[in-house]
Amino acid sequence: MKTYKRGSKTLTNAWAFYDWANSVYPLVISTAVFPIYYSSMANSFANAEGDISFLGTSWNPTTLYDYTLSLSFLIVALFSPILSGIADYTGNKLKFLKGFCLLGSLSVTALFFFQGESTLWVALLFTILASIGFWGSIVFYNAYLPEIAHPEQQDAVSAKGFMYGYTGSVLLLIFSLILVQKPDWFGITDATLAPRITFVLVGMWWLGFAQFTYRRLPNNIFNHKPDKDYIWKGFLELKLVWNSLKSQPQLRNFLIAFFFLSVGVQTIILMAGIFGSEELGLPTQNLILTIIIVQIVAIFGAYFFSRLSNSIGNLATLKITLVIWGVVCLIAFVLDKDLPNIEYYFYAMGIVLGFVLGATQSLTRSTYSKLLPETHDHATYFSFYDVSEKIAIVIGMFLFGLLVALTGSMQYSVLVLAVFFLIAFLILDRNRKLSKG
């Protein structure tokens, strides 16, 4: 297989293209079509109190979905550090990337078989497995960034990945929207078939386009030759990296801030569709249109803030995005379904959210990459980054679902998320040594 030099356009484009492949999962499955489909299915067999039965227990459908996602992120958080330590020691990041991609894409495809109460277990089981596949692959994908791009390239390359991802996912989402809203154009009469077909399309898209990345990414560039006890050496790598964080306050503090902002960002991304549907009573077409707006605006936001970070530094730029995220939470809290033209308020909120979405995700990834010391253990370092994010999602989703169960409203859950953005802002504000990223 031909090898490409670090920093080459061919290599960085190939790496960024995996965002094109995988971003259809967080958009179509985690954010848009599947949550709305799950909500409509759950409502169709819910009892008079709006609860559904699973494993002999009555559940609020939103709470059950939240807890299901939380479990998947907890599994990733527990196992990815071990896998990434092993991947660093054996040099097999590409093998793990392929394995998790395969698990995720096939699990997404299996969601096709969720058709009602009798197949609720299909929705929950394969939601867990698809989430594990996606987020597990992201651990190893992110770990490639310092190996394929030089430090001065990493902001732009990271932003390019998210821009590719938003573009590709919007294209598939638009087609999915047409398929769901106009199934008769395709000769489809079963109301559940159209959205279920989109789940198959996501799996095929993800696995198919990932092949382009696979053919160009290097594997084992440091020529590691594992001993028979390489699994235990993986644990040793984890311990060494953990100890190194204690002597790197900049990196450690950034991880702490990243944890708190991830509670807010990822929970909002995962629950936006259900919030609009259940809390604001918006129809499916309005929700998906909003999500498309978010994705399109995010393309320009990622580019704008990438350029801004070159002028004022990564830290200052991230702080600006955190302020905007907090404003989004406050806007969501005061929205009410009885407001005239509520859909336009939701569109406006989506525009604001989209502007900072790509920027926040891109800049946190590239900032962390630039803060890493000279090391061969990129996957292990990035496992701490990804574990911080996964545990943050577990806490965010669990807290969101708990508050919904206690208050019967999602608005208080959204308001609490603003506190996490404030904490992240304060930590970054104190960590002034990061001001130039």
Task: Report how far residue 68's alpha carbon sits from residue 124's, in angstroms, rounded to the nearest whole number.
Answer: 6
Rounded to whole angstroms, what are the CA distances from 97 to 134, 228, 294, 303? 9, 22, 28, 27
343 contacts 282 by C-beta, under 8 angstroms: yes
Residue 54's alpha-carbon distances to 132, 170, 357, in angstroms, are 22, 34, 34
Tokens 């235990």: give the residue.
Answer: 232
Cβ neighbors of 7 (< 8 A, separation 6 or more) are 148, 149, 150, 153
Q: How far, in Å, CA of 414 to CA of 263, rounded?
A: 11
User: CB atoms < 10 A from the CB of 80, how many?
Assistant: 26
What CATH number has the domain spanning 9-219+228-434?
1.20.1250.20
Query: Could you read off the pLDDT tens digit of each residue along the chain, which spans 437 residues?
Result: 577 788 899 999 999 999 999 999 988 888 778 888 898 898 888 888 888 999 888 888 888 988 888 888 888 877 777 777 676 666 678 888 999 999 999 999 999 999 988 999 999 999 999 999 998 898 888 888 888 888 888 888 888 888 898 889 889 988 988 898 889 999 998 888 999 999 999 999 999 999 999 998 887 555 555 555 556 665 666 677 778 878 888 888 888 999 999 998 888 877 777 788 777 788 777 877 887 888 788 888 888 888 888 888 888 899 999 999 998 888 888 888 878 888 888 888 888 888 888 788 888 888 888 888 876 666 677 777 777 888 888 888 888 888 888 887 788 888 888 999 999 999 988 776 544 44
pTM of the model: 0.77
